[in-house]
Amino acid sequence: MAKETVLVVEYGPIVKDDKSLQMPSKGNPFPTQYMFPLRTTPQQALNGRVGDVPASNIAGGGSAINAMFHDRGAKADYDAWAELGNTGWDWNGLLPYFKKAVRFTPPSQAEQQKYGYTYDLSAYGGSGPVDVSYPPFQFPGNKIQFDAWKDLNIKTQKEGANGNAFGVFWVPSSQDPVKETRVDAVIAHYKQRKNYHLLTMHQASKINFVGTAAAGVTVKSRETGKTKYIVAVKEIILAAGAVHTPQLLQLSGIGPKSVLSAAGVTTKVDLEGVGQNLQDHPFFPMAHQFTSNVFPYPELLTENATYRDAAYAEYWATRTGPFALGLGNAGAFVPLLNLTSQYKNIASTLSSQSASTYVDPSTPASVLKGYAAQLKILANRFTRTDNAVMELPFAGQASPVVAFLKPASRGTIKITNSDIGTEPAIDTRTIANPVDLKIMMELLKFARKYFKTPTMSKLGPVELLPGPDVDTDAEIEGIFRAALVQPSFYHVCCTAAMGPRANGGVVGTNLLVHGVSRLSVVDASVMPMVPGTHTCETVYAIAEKAADIIKSRA
């Protein structure tokens, strides 16, 4: 395959010299100057609020700006993909590619003893392009927070990347183990391949066809405004992300005819699933004051200029200290049955729902058929111990976020006109399904139990947000809808889902778009259901598997 050439049309620049992206810890965790200014439509279930939908607009995509939390979902998460008709895309089908994508460097013996790092080398076993490792620093309060989960009988896992992504465990960072800097897709892939060419600062505006065969792409320079047409010799691979992949398909005439017609676009293929099935991990923040904190603690980096300046100097001198640590390397991933005794009732409620009740009223019949199958799978997973619905990442901080990993609500991406310069309407339909609201309320109640455990009492936590005056279910629901619940945990996906066309699928197991030829999708859009994990490593695995599939077509 090395004799073949690959041209990537990249919307943004390669950012080479921004130290805030290179070092793991940064004052601005998610730099908006490197993001599309995407927002949802007003969300009915959030009292009409709009939310941010973060997406990178620089080379490397999300890997260039994310929290570097390099984890995988549970085996049960990926087995769900195969249960939806995607043979070969279950855990066993993806595991070789998870391994192939990374090069894992174990922590030193001294670091294991000092911080308590655990891992299973067999979960990695690869020599791939993406370095993953553990940082040479953790805040001391992290150990207290890790141990406190035992008070709630949450299982401690030696490793989460072996399919056991439930319980409490350590997660490595996408981090160079020597330089202690971020490793993204530009560093890991582009700079290593001579046959890989990058056309930066250009936006693809349309995929062009000869009959039903994808022939080329119209692109426009963001610097000069000039338009050019690029011909594909073998295949066009669409990897614009879960917002812009369905947008570009729709602008090119591939999508639900009703959406295309309303936007003034001629329909080439009435492919109903394009832009449907949008999923993400909704989340809410919590805030506490620790009255018995242990020094040093994460908040010092923003509260104490002297400490911050010393830590900054230490990092650039020795690549150690707090700035060598990203947003953390530990998390609790909790199954529903650990959260509430009502888990069977919740699962039963979900499995008895009609697929059409809580989705966009215009959802096509084929998409409803696929969604009905998803509801059955979610209901099944809610009764099992081997997958999670809750994530609470921690690193010694007093104010965590809590993410809901298995939402039942489904949103849409729809173009509103034929102009690539107009962002599509992003309707996440966050907590539109009342089961999601019910479970997110249980997440808050369980997180509160965690902060009240005997072990956590060593830190003296006092809740500030939502606050002790938010106590009843009605009060929790009120603040969730009015302010706390946010639509996107940076994990938007599933809008060009893999699956049979009759079930709302957009691509087959070969990643080729249904109804046309020479056009495939390789990004988070193709996930049929969002896994209970940060999505970056899953996208790497999808891409590695896609490479083998595409090479087999050559």
The predicted-structure confidence for 250-263, as pLDDT tens digits, reads as follows 999 999 999 999 99
Is 50 contained in some domain?
yes
**What is the per-residue pLDDT for 190?**
73
The Cα 283–Cα 483 span in angstroms is 11
| N residues, the chain | 554
Region 36-59: mean pLDDT is: 97
User: ∠110-162-443 over CA atoms, to 5°?
Assistant: 95
**What is the per-residue pLDDT for 63?**
94
Q: How confident is the model at residue 29 (pLDDT cuts 50, 70, 90)?
A: low
Whether 27 shows a pLDDT value over 80: the answer reads no
Work out the mean pLDDT of the chain and round it to a whole number.
97
Show the domain range for 154. 6-25+41-194+277-553
Is 227 contained in some domain?
no
CATH at 324: 3.30.560.10
The Cα 165–Cα 222 span in angstroms is 42
Is 271 contained in some domain?
no
Q: How confident is the model at residue 319 (pLDDT cuts 50, 70, 90)?
A: very high
Q: How confident is the model at residue 189 (pLDDT cuts 50, 70, 90)?
A: confident
The per-residue pLDDT for range 388-417, each reduced to its tens digit, is 999 999 999 999 999 999 999 999 999 999
Q: How confident is the model at residue 3 (pLDDT cuts 50, 70, 90)?
A: confident
Is 242 contained in some domain?
no
Is 414 contained in some domain?
yes
Is 235 contained in some domain?
no
**135 contacts 449 by C-beta, under 8 angstroms:** no
Is 87 contained in some domain?
yes
| Total domains, the chain | 1
Q: Which residues contact 453 (CB under 8 A, 6 or more apart)?
A: 148, 151, 152
Q: Which of 70, 189, 491, 514 is catalytic?
A: 491
Whether the upstream peptide bond of residue 466 has omega within 30° of 0, thus cis, is yes
The per-residue pLDDT for range 329-343, each reduced to its tens digit, is 999 999 999 999 999
The per-residue pLDDT for range 440-485, each reduced to its tens digit, is 999 999 999 999 999 999 999 999 999 999 999 999 999 999 999 9
**What is the per-residue pLDDT for 187?**
79
The Cα 552–Cα 68 span in angstroms is 32
The per-residue pLDDT for range 200-234, each reduced to its tens digit, is 999 999 999 999 999 999 999 999 999 999 999 99
Q: Catalytic annotation on 534?
A: yes
Q: Is the dihedral of CA 168, 387, 511, 125 positive or negative?
A: positive
Instruction: Give helix 343-351 / helix 365-382 axis angle, nearest 10°.
Output: 160
Region 145-159: mean pLDDT is: 99
